[in-house]
Every structure is written in C-alpha cells, then in structure tokens.
Amino acid sequence: MRTNKRAKKGLTAVLATVVAAPALLSNAVGQETDPGADQRAYYVYVAAESEDRVDLIRFEAGVASVIDTIHVGRNPTEIDGPHGLAVDPSGERWYVTLAHGNPYGAVVAYSTETNRPLGSTELGFFPASLHVTPAGLLFAANFNLHGEHVASSVSVVDVGSMTEIAQVATCTMPHGSRLTSDGSRHYSACMMDDRVVELDAYRLEVRRQFSVTPGEERPFLATGPANGAAEHHATPDGPPCSPTWAHPSPDGRRVYVACNKRAEVLELDVDTWQISRRFKTAEGPYNLDVSPDGARLVVTYKSSQSTGVWDLVTGEELARVENTRRLPHGIAISSDARYAFISVEGVGAEPGAVDVIDLERGKKVTSVDVGKQAGGIAFWRIEAS
C-alpha cells in the first residue's frame, strides 16, 4: 500500500465545467404497461460513457422515464468516460468515476438533492467500478487499459474530504469493486490474472487471493500484488475464466464470480475459501448483483443480449430475459428486492437503454432510452406515491 501524494484538483474547476441539465421528458421504449404495477416510485442513476452524462430515471406504475440529465464531462474537447456509479448508504450523495484521464482518472461526488458536484479527487489509471462503505470510504478499481498489462490497484477515498488516502496494489485489470454490507471486506476480480482478491477494508491491505484458472482453482498463497506476468491462459480444461465481477452475498458468507470466457458463475465459500457451487450460464456473463434478501442472483450475459435471474436456494436459472439492445452491462437491484435495473450499452449510433425486470415474475416490465454506451448503474431510493 502507498499513500497518494498528488495534489487534489480544486472544486472550483469542477463547478465551472460540470452542470446539471434540465429535466427531460419520458423516453420509454414501447413496452407494455403492467396493470398490476407497483405504485411506488423507484429512482436509479445510470452513466453513459460515450456521452459524458448521467441520467436519473424514475420508474413508477410500470413506466420508466428520464427525469434529469447531468453532464459530467470536465474536458470540453474530449470524452472523459463516466464508467462506474455508486450511491452512498445514506442516499445523500452519488459518485461517478471518470475513466479517461490524462493520464489519471478521477471520481466526482454529487448531491442527490440537487445533482450538483460537491468535490472530486484524482485516482489511478482508468478507474472503473466503485463502492462506498457505511463509514465513508470509497473503493474504486483502477482497471488500467493503458499500455502493457501490469499490476494495478484499488483506490481508497475519504468521501468526507474527497481525498484519495491510499492505492492498494492488487492485480492486472481489477474490476467489479464490491464491499460486504458491513464494509469490512472488499472484493474485486482480476481479468488478466484469473484471480479474486479480498481486501481488509479496515487495514487497507490484501487479505487473501483465489485462483480461478480452470484446473488450478484454489487459494492463491501469495498475499502481495500480482506482477503482471501471470496473465490468464487456456488450459487443458478449456479457456480461462477471465473474471469480470466479484460480488459478496448480503451476509458476507459467499462471493459470486463471473467467468466471462467460461460461461459460468462461481460461488466461493468465504469460510473455507473454496468453490462451493458452479452455475452454467449463457455466453459472456459480465456483471452480477445479489438481491438484498439473498434470494436472487442476477447476471448480465454481454455476449448473448440477455440477463439471467437465478434462485440462490435451488441454484436454478428461473428466467432468461432478452434485453432491449445488444451488450447488457450493469445491474442495480432495488432495496426491496423487487426489480432489477439493467443498463444496456447498444452499438454504433444506438442510444443506451435501461431495462426493468420484475424479479418475482422473471419478466421485463419496460425499457427507457438513455445516453450512448450505458454502463455504470446505481439504485438510489424508493418513494411512496
């Protein structure tokens, strides 16, 4: 672990270049209205990486609409690439990583009340997914798409002062930054090292690693960072796992890992630090989310234009829902475990989309157009109508 000594960028620069746009009209995409729909309003933020914007979506009575668009780019001549999104546990702030920095990326904090920026700090190379602890620490995986495949890190930010306090060296291309509900442990996946890394979120250090290379699936004994030389490779057991996401269960006893090139999701038992179950999926499992009640696992299949809904008790896939467009990306499940909100990138000149899936019925309820290359997505709140 090393302490960051780079100077923070001032809030004045952020305020001068990041403004909130007026609310937009509904842009729902031709899905049928559900006559038995919940009358409560659900709110979700979604980032559009190719348009430097974040959309705020309201879903109510079976209809989804964009009610605000926030322009988050800071460079007037280049795309900053908003990638990851998170809402803090209090619901008072949301955070977005700007991946395409020169050379470093950044994270910017916004007020959920006004959707105006509150502060920012520089991170590492290409910061991607992020999560925030109840104690006010933000963990962002520095995915690092620049140059050679070398070990990267997870940035840790004190959100009170918006200061990066550490970069914990982990592995090559860390992604899927997720914390246990008590904020004590952090998990990420190493795409190019075929590993899962567990951090002690209090000590800010690597605690354990697990190799997910087929035929070599076992605890990885080294506690230091990967050196970038152990890139994933095909084995006699087939293609590498190439993990793209790691997500702990609500009780912290399991971790679910998306093996993007193996068409499967692994379940790791945290106590034994061994694989306890395997879920054979459609091609290209990419992102994961577990419902707050621990009953459902939702998986986007990026290569298959669909999303899977799994029963975590039986281990069965209950539904495979076709997405509105190609390249389903992120998942945000509502706090009542009723709906999954899926960001869909689209291709070429297509807009992105957010599909709303009813987890009780395994059915897509509606969809709404958002900015191009929709990726990071975060659930905010439920509001009584």
Other C-beta atoms closer than 10 Å to the C-beta of 77 total 5
The pLDDT, as a whole number, for residue 355 is 98
The pLDDT, as a whole number, for residue 16 is 35
DSSP string, 133-168: -TTSEEEEEE---SSS----EEEEEETTTTEEEEEE
Amino acid at 107: V
Q: For the chain, list the domains and their CATH numbers.
A: 11-383 (2.130.10.10)
Question: For residue 130, what is the enclosing H or E element?
Answer: strand 127-132
The pLDDT, as a whole number, for residue 284 is 97
DSSP string, 216-268: --EEE---S---S------BTTBS---EEEEEE-TTSSEEEEEETTTTEEEEE
Rounded Cα–Cα distance for residues 89 and 52 (Å): 25
Which stretches in the chain have pLDDT values below 70?
1-37, 146-147, 222-236
Rounded Cα–Cα distance for residues 250 and 303 (Å): 28
Distances (CA, A) of 19 to 13, 49, 70, 98: 12, 17, 7, 15
The pLDDT, as a whole number, for residue 147 is 65
Q: CB neighbours of 10 closer than 8 A, spacing ≥ 6?
A: none
The number of C-alpha atoms within 13 Å of 46 and in the hemisphere containing its C-beta is: 35
User: 227-249 burial by CB neighbour count: b if 16+ within 10 A, else e?
Assistant: ebebebeeeeeeebbbbbbbbbb
The strands making up 328-333's β-sheet, listed across from edge to edge, are: 328-333, 339-344, 352-358, 363-370
